[in-house]
Amino acid sequence: MVKTLLKKNKVKNGVLKNGIRYVLNDNDTFSSCCILFYIRVGSMHETPKEYGISHILEHMLFKGTQRFQTFMELNKNFDILNCSVNAATSKNITYVDMKLPYQNLEKGLELLEEMIFKSLFLEDELEKEKKVVIEEFNRVNDNMNTKLEILTTEFNFDKHRLSNLILGTRENVLNFTRKDILKFYRKYYVPTNCAISIVGNLNKNIITKLNKIFSQKSNIEIEHQIMKYENPKVDNFLYKKNIGRQNYISISFPIFSILDIRKYYLDILIDILGGNMTSRLWVALREENQLVYLFNVFYEVYEDGGFFSINFTTSNNNVKKTIKTVLDILEKMKKIKISEDELKLTKRKAIMDIEINSEESCEIAEFYGEQIILEQEVKNYNDIKKIYEKCNLDILQALCKEIFIFDKMKIVMLGSLERDEFNKITNKLLNKKK
Digit-coded pLDDT (tens) for 320-337: 999 999 999 999 999 988
Q: What percent of the chain has pLDDT over 70?
A: 96
CATH architecture designation of domain 237-433? 2-Layer Sandwich (3.30)
Q: How far apart are CA 366 and CA 267, in angstroms?
A: 17
Note the pLDDT of residue 6: 44
Strand order from edge to edge, sheet including 247-255: 237-241, 410-415, 247-255, 306-314, 295-301
Taking the alpha carbons of 346, 347, 349, 354 in that order, is the dihedral positive or negative? positive
9-213 sits in which CATH class? alpha beta
Note the pLDDT of residue 232: 64
Q: What is the SS3 assignment for 85?
A: strand
The two beta strands, 21-26 and 194-200, are parallel
Note the pLDDT of residue 374: 94
Q: Any residues with CB less than 8 A from the CB of 42 and at least 6 apart, and which?
A: 54, 89, 90, 91, 92, 93, 94, 166
Ranges of CATH 3.30.830.10 domains, the chain? 9-213, 237-433
Q: What pLDDT, in 10s, does the model give residues 291-304?
A: 998 899 999 999 99
* Per-position b or e across 225-258, b if 16+ CB within 10 A of its CB: eeeebebbeeeebbbeebeeebbbbbbbbbbbbb
Note the pLDDT of residue 120: 96
Report CA-CA distances (Å) from 223 to 41, 220, 421.
12, 10, 48
Note the pLDDT of residue 221: 87
Give me the half-sphere count of Cα atoms (radius 13 Å) on the Cβ side of residue 184: 26
Task: Give mean pLDDT, residues 63-76.
Answer: 93
Residue with the larger pLDDT of the pair 84 and 218: 84
- pLDDT value at 4 more than 80: no
Residue with the larger pLDDT of the pair 4 and 375: 375
Task: Give mean pLDDT, residues 263-277.
Answer: 94
Mean pLDDT of the chain: 93
Residue with the larger pLDDT of the pair 359 and 408: 408
Note the pLDDT of residue 8: 41
User: Hey, what amino acid is at 271?
Assistant: D
